[in-house]
Amino acid sequence: MTELSLIPDEVAARVGTEAARATGEVNRRDWQRWAVAVGDENPLWFDAEHARAHGYDDVICPPLYLQYAVLGVTPMSALRADGSSGAASGNLQFPDAPKRMAGGESTTFHLPAYHRDELTMVRVIDSIVEKHGRSGRFVLVTWRTTYTNQRDELVAEATTSMIARP
């Protein structure tokens, strides 16, 4: 192989380090807007009586919404040319592999999250490797993420990956 790596040295050096940390408030209206956009009208997300009848204190946040509760604000001038924001992933730059696609996610949910819970996300870069697939070379980045609430209880933990192609 004489090809140069798609992974810049300064990016490779960040494996094992914290890529991002964010805190946000879980908000019922926001998760309900998300749920409606998914067409997911599960009464556990919408109907407090129903949720209480099934052992919860109140309506609960849909598990897959947790990752959005901690999103901060990105100035438009800080968006990449493709409009995406690297804020939640530590702004890893791959100049030779600019086309980005979500890879996969694996999340374990430990506790429900409620309206006005304060969630803290900590995301660490687990690995950055170059691979060769059917459609050519790509970079696979994997993060490990924890979500804890205001009582330092582990709400969820996730492994997430992203693919960047030339």
Partner 1 sequence: MSEQVCFEDVAIGDVLPTLEVVVDETQMFLFSAATYNAHRIHYDKDWARDKEGYDNVLVQGPLQAALLARAVTDWVGASGRLVTFSVQNRATALPGETLLFGGTVTAVRGQGDGTGLVDLEIAGRRGETVLMPGTAIVSLPARAVIGAGA
Q: Where does this chain touch partner 1 (CB under 8 A) — which range of 5-13, 67-75, 113-121, 146-154?
A: 67-75
| Burial class of residue 17, CB neighbours in 10 A (0-12, 13-18, 19+) | exposed
Identify residues 70-129 at the interface with partner 1 (CB under 8 A): 71, 74, 76, 79, 82-85, 99, 101-109
Which residues make beta-bridge pairs with 119?
A: 24
Nearer to partner 1, 64 or 122 (CB): 64
CB of 34 or CB of 114, closer to partner 1: 34
Amino acid at site 29 = R
Residue of 12, 13, 21, 43 interacting with partner 1 (CB under 8 A): 43
Nearest to 6 by CA among 91, 73, 92: 92
Nearer residue to partner 1 within complex by CB, 46 or 118: 46
Phi, psi of 152 (to 5 degrees): 60, 25
Q: Which residue has the tokens 């998300």?
A: 34
Closest CA to 126 of 108, 138, 144: 144
- Judged by CB under 8 A, the residue of 8, 27, 48, 63 near partner 1 is 63
Q: Which residues bind partner 1 (CB under 8 A)?
A: 30, 33-34, 36-40, 42-44, 50-51, 53-55, 62-64, 68, 71, 74, 76, 79, 82-85, 99, 101-109, 163
